[in-house]
Amino acid sequence: MIYTVTFNPCLDYIVGVEDFQLGMTNRTCSEQMFAGGKGINVSIVLKNLGIESTALGFIAGFTGEEIRRKVEKMGITSEFIQLENGFSRINIKLKSIDGTEINGTGPSIGSEELERLLKKLDTLKKGDVLILAGSIPASLPDSIYSDIMERLEEKEVMIVVDATKDLLVNVLKYHPFLIKPNNHELGDIFGVEIRERDQVAPYAKKLQEMGARNVLVSMAGKGAVLLAEDGSVYESPAPKGKLINAVGAGDSMVAGFTAGYMQKGSYEHAFKMGVSTGSASAFSENFATKEEVEAIYKTL
């Protein structure tokens, strides 16, 4: 079974506003609301690809109940922990002003509530896949991802980590199965600027030397690079298509890679699935469908 963890899930409220004017009353021309958060996004895309997963994390208040409802309506199993206080965040994304968004803070998570999640994770066993994705609330220690991996170290669970900076670097000593920084995040770790695919391998190799088994680096319009634990290096330019919505493309790549590896145990196939799925989501209003992924896969 695949388990995804989203510590700070949200409702993504995506609005279109024609001729937005700062300091004035603006009215929307389009509105959409989705359950969001990186782990939830991965679960959604896995479901689209025909692979079941269980979504874990914390929810609170009326917004948390709506997150649960939306997730379960899509046919995804959820085992969210309900917090007593606060409410799950709402993230506002202005569709007509590219990249403009206002993200909520999210509720505080107490030690007892965190322990409930950790006990759920204790039930994972060899062959299970755990995907830790996204930022964490300020109420949790920065070491939470590495704490979880240390706790599960003897269980032989395949762990995927999609996080940034210290959250990512701190887990490497526990040998995650896959990490997926983008080129900017990879560059930030080593204090360099990475713009082209041929610049990726030396720095991805350093992350392997620090403990990562497989390093998948997404580069938006420049494509992607994979350094696999068997020594293979795969790279691909970005498939051709019209960028419609980049939100969740990286999460889709994680889902596609995970699905591909579970299907065939092949890093080449997993890499192609990752590239195809990330691109299919970027070329669509919503997350990639299986048919869209297969169509792009045939072009690689």
Query: According to the 3-state scheme, what is the secondary structure of the chain?
Result: CEEEEECCCEEEEEEECCCCCCCCCCCCCEEEEEEECHHHHHHHHHHHCCCCEEEEEEEEHHHHHHHHHHHHHCCCEECCEEECCCCCEEEEEECCCCCEEECCCCCCCCHHHHHHHHHHHCCCCCCCEEEEECCCCCCCCCCHHHHHHHHCHHHCCEEEEECCHHHHHCCHHHCCCEECCEHHHHHHHHCCCCCCHHHHHHHHHHHHHCCCCEEEEECHHHCEEEECCCCCEEEECCCCCCCCCCCCHHHHHHHHHHHHHHHHCCHHHHHHHHHHHHHHHHCCCCCCCHHHHHHHHCCC
Residue 98 designated active-site: no
- Which of 12, 128, 162, 251 is catalytic? The answer is 251
Catalytic positions, written as ranges: 251
